Structure 1
Amino acid sequence: MSGWGELIAAFCVFLLSHSVPIRQPVKPMIVARIGRTGFTFLYSALSVVVLVWLIIAAGRAPYVELWPRLPWQKHVTLAAMAAVCLIVAMAAFRPNPFSFGGWRDERFNPSAPGIAGWLRHPYLAALTLWAAGHNVPNGDLAHALLFGGFALFALLGMRLIDRRRRREMGPETWLNLLQAAKAGRSLVPDASTIVRLLAALALLAALISLHPLIIGLEAVSW
């Protein structure tokens, strides 16, 4: 399978892999067998594998130019990725009952909500920025569909998760917690801010270094 057929198949597998495993009764069955941590690692690994396949499939699709590639476009992508790395670093290993990926959500303190007070869905926001930033220098039809699809997936995912969390918590509890988190947000750095900033820089450097090995193109030209 090659060309548009592979890209369509990869998109279908992506949508299925991100919808079926988290539904009832599939997720409880998997969690019962391998535990919540095992499910998280398995789901994350599957997501990465399918993502890599999607990117490869987009590269193999017929080239149909929508807009030209220009030198300045790489700077847009780099700026977007700096923001992505910062968001991921600020969200990692922190409780967040509003979205997926929270760590020890039962310890969430709305008076010190961290990034969850600013972004309910930091990982989906990062995915949206990643997609939008990469769409700028990739002006062919296949990559426009790829990155546009990811951005749409992330934005729709935010709404779906909001709906599910409201249903699980109850509308009043969800709204009260959200308002408390907004009231508790602060720009004053906490004890982990410096570590997280350094982690964001390290992640960005790692992604720039690995980009030519994985994608085959230099991420930046110094």
Structure 2
Amino acid sequence: MALLILGLVLFLGVHSIRIVANGWRTQQRARLGEMRWKTMYSVVSIIGFVLIVVGFGLARQHPVLLYVPPVGLRHLNAPFTLLAFVLVAAAYVPGNHLKAKLGHPMLAAVKVWAFGHLLATGMLHDVLLFGAFLLWAIVDFASARRRDRADGVVYPVGTAKGDVIAVVAGIVGWAVFAGWLHAWLIGVNPMG
């Protein structure tokens, strides 16, 4: 469990710098240069991610049950995750209404993904992983929206074409991940 926690602290910590120390972040980027800052940021992120993956895998070998979710809640995870994939696609597809409305659909996707998984799982390692990501995404989304308002950021208006591309890409990504990759990478078949 210690590796999982350390990974979460590193990964979410480096992704929280803008929330807690945006001025310091700006100073460091200027002092170090954009490429060096991004390299250091990426290295810490990758180390944190690897520790999360390894720590989660180790924690799954010694599960601690906190609660047993009702079967109905477990089934709700599929539509939550589908929505999360659409939101991820919306973060990258230009000119869609989700990006125009939310500003930060990737953070909204993390919230939806983590919440859905908390409904479907009840082990301590699951609650640590998904709870940490949910809490981080809630705080980061609010912080990013506050920055947008303060900076007068306006996102481009969405189009039907952008919406269709984001939705189709999200559905295809979700189908591939839920139907095949989740079982292969994580060892759990969400469709089974």
Same fold (TM over 0.5): yes
Match of 1:50 in 2: 48
Cα deviation for residue 135 of structure 1 reads 1.2
Instruction: Find the aligned partners of 2:85 and 2:17 in 1 and give their Cα distance.
Output: 28
Matched, 1:202 2:185: no
Q: Could you say if the C-alpha distance between residues 157 and 134 of structure 1 is closer, same or farther in structure 2, counting changes exceeding 3 Å?
A: same
The one of 2, 5, 15 equivalent to 1:5 is 2
Aligned AA for 1:215? Answer: I
Q: Hey, what does 1:80 align to over in structure 2?
A: 80
**Residue 119 (structure 2) aligns with:** 136
CA distance in 2, matches of 1:163, 1:78: 31
Q: Which runs of 5+ in 2 are unaligned?
A: none
Residues 34 and 145 (structure 1), Cα distance of their counterparts in 2 relative to 1, 3 Å cut: closer
- For 1:89, the equivalent position in structure 2 comes to 89
Report the counterpart of residue 68 of structure 2 in structure 1.
68
Q: List aligned pairs for 1:163-202, cutoff 5 A.
A: 163-167=146-150, 169=151, 173-174=152-153, 177=154, 190-202=160-172
- The answer (yes or no) to whether the contact 1:10–1:54 under 8 Å persists in 2 is yes
Q: 2:7, 2:47 within 8 Å by CA — same for their partners in 1?
A: no
Alignment check: 8 A CA contact 1:59 1:142 kept: no
| CA apart distance, 1:79 | 0.8
Moved more, 85-94 or 15-24: 15-24
TM-score of the superposed pair, with normalisation by structure 2: 0.76
Q: Which residue of 2 aligns with 1:214?
A: 185
Give me the TM-score of the superposition, normalised by structure 1. 0.67
Distance 1:57 1:47, change over 3 A: same
- Asked if the contact 1:74/1:219 (under 8 Å) is kept, the reply is no
Structure 1 residue matching 2:103: 3-state secondary structure: coil
**Larger RCO: 1 or 2 (CA < 8 Å, sep 6+):** 2
User: Contact 1:10–1:50 at 8 Å: present in 2 too?
Assistant: yes
Moved more, 55-64 or 195-204: 55-64
Unaligned runs of 5+ in 1: 96-112
Max radius of gyration: which structure?
A: 1
Gap change, CA 1:195 and 1:166, over 3 Å in 2: closer
Q: CA deviation at 1:31?
A: 5.3
Contact 1:64–1:142 (CA under 8 A) maintained in structure 2: yes
Percent identical residues: 26
Counting matched residue pairs gives: 184
